[in-house]
Amino acid sequence: MATPLSPDRLLTALRDEGIEVVEHPGWRTNNRNHKGPWGPVNGVMIHHTVTSGTASSVELCYNGHSALPGPLCHGVIAKDGTVHLVGHGRANHAGLGDGDVLQAVIAERELPPDNEASTDGNRHFYGFECVNLGDGKDPWPAEQLLAIERAAAAICRAHGWSQRSVIGHLEWQPGKIDPRGFTMNSMRTRIGKRLGSAPKPPAAAKPRYEPFPGTAFFKAGRNSPVITAMGRRLVAEGCGRYRVGPGPAWSEADRASYAAFQRKCGYTGKAADGIPGKSSWDRLKVPNV
């Protein structure tokens, strides 16, 4: 039982789970809240659209039709795995269902048979419509199944729910068959595995350093941003001997600063003459410019 996620939190949760999200214009205020409350929310419900084509399916779910005004869900999951957000708030997707099923979802235990239609599901569930004809023949691409897994897991993760908080329409309302083409038990297994570990953060980019340009590079008259970058690193190492700078032109201050760094590294005599060599240069780690 929880307060519904705000539009921003919902969007962040989905994207943090690795989903490509498309925001339909006006989705944040598209709802049926004038017909009743949305929340407390208790779970996620999965449907199929009985349509084909992403654009037309999204428009249908956003606007609804004469017999059932939109939004018909909160997100439409396309066959390519993109999630199109079409509503936020109460949506016409769950209808009346079995109160015993709702109690099982709240308790996160095994679902009983759905044999009643007396409880308002639109108040208690996030809804995702998945683009599929629902005829048992229309395929479910791997990208789409992964997006269903991710979208459900994202909401469960945000609320601290387990995979037991995710159900299919067919498990809620007697006579419904959606989603048809995969089992909810198999999807819950996938969601459970995903929830077993936090989303992996993007891998940090490996730092790039300037390669050693050769001893001959460091001579009077050399003017290069590499010299500036080197000087800044020398200052950071506590070896700067600059009154002004460092700057792009090789100078005696650069040589004296580098000699101090060489001595810091343990070099002595001619090995600490202030002219960079490859070994000391690699230790200095001058950022790539």
Question: What residue type is assigned to position 140 of the chain?
Answer: W
User: Predicted confidence band at 289 (pLDDT cuts at 50, 70, 90)?
Assistant: confident
In a domain, 200, yes or no: no
**Within this chain, do residues 116 and 164 fall inside the same structural domain, yes or no?**
yes
Q: Which residue has the higher pLDDT, 239 or 198?
A: 239
Digit-coded pLDDT (tens) for 217-272: 999 999 999 999 999 999 999 999 999 889 999 999 999 999 999 999 999 999 99
Digit-coded pLDDT (tens) for 133-143: 999 999 999 99
**Within this chain, do residues 187 and 234 fall inside the same structural domain, yes or no?**
no
Question: What residue type is assigned to position 110 of the chain?
Answer: E
In a domain, 78, yes or no: yes
Burial of 243 (0-12, 13-18, 19+ CB in 10 A): exposed
**Within this chain, do residues 189 and 221 fall inside the same structural domain, yes or no?**
no
Dist. CA 248–CA 254, nearest whole Å = 10
User: Predicted confidence band at 203 (pLDDT cuts at 50, 70, 90)?
Assistant: low
Digit-coded pLDDT (tens) for 136-184: 999 999 999 999 999 999 999 999 999 999 999 999 999 999 999 999 9
**Within this chain, do residues 62 and 101 fall inside the same structural domain, yes or no?**
yes
SS3 string of the chain? CECCCCHHHHHHHHHHCCCCEEECCCHHHCCCHHHCCCCCECEEEEEECCCCCHHHHHHHHHHEECCEECCCCCEEECCCCCEEECCCCCCCCCCEECHHHHHHHHHCCCCCCCCCCCEECCCCEEEEEECCCCCCCCCCCHHHHHHHHHHHHHHHHHHCCCHHHEEEHHHCCCCCCCCCCCCHHHHHHHHHHHHCCCCCCCCCCCCCECCCCCHHHCCCCCECHHHHHHHHHHHHCCCCCCCCCCCCECCHHHHHHHHHHHHHCCCCHHHHCCCCCHHHHHHHCCECC
pLDDT score for 13? 97
Q: Which domain holds residue 68?
A: 7-195
**Within this chain, do residues 154 and 263 fall inside the same structural domain, yes or no?**
no
pLDDT score for 246? 93
Digit-coded pLDDT (tens) for 257-270: 999 999 999 999 99
Is pLDDT of 201 > 80? no
Dist. CA 149–CA 199, nearest whole Å = 13
Summarize the confidence of residues 113-132 as an average pLDDT: 97
pLDDT score for 244? 85
In a domain, 206, yes or no: no
How many structural domains is the chain composed of?
A: 2
**Within this chain, do residues 183 and 280 fall inside the same structural domain, yes or no?**
no
Instruction: Take residue 50 and report the two structure tokens written for it.
Output: 């009985």
User: Predicted confidence band at 1 (pLDDT cuts at 50, 70, 90)?
Assistant: low
Summarize the confidence of residues 86-96 as an average pLDDT: 98
pTM: 0.69
Digit-coded pLDDT (tens) for 25-83: 999 999 999 999 999 999 999 999 999 999 999 999 999 999 999 999 999 999 999 99
pLDDT score for 245? 82
Q: Whose CA is closest to 167, among 215, 127, 118?
A: 127
* pLDDT above 90 coverage of the chain, percent: 93
pLDDT score for 202? 58
Mean pLDDT of the chain: 95
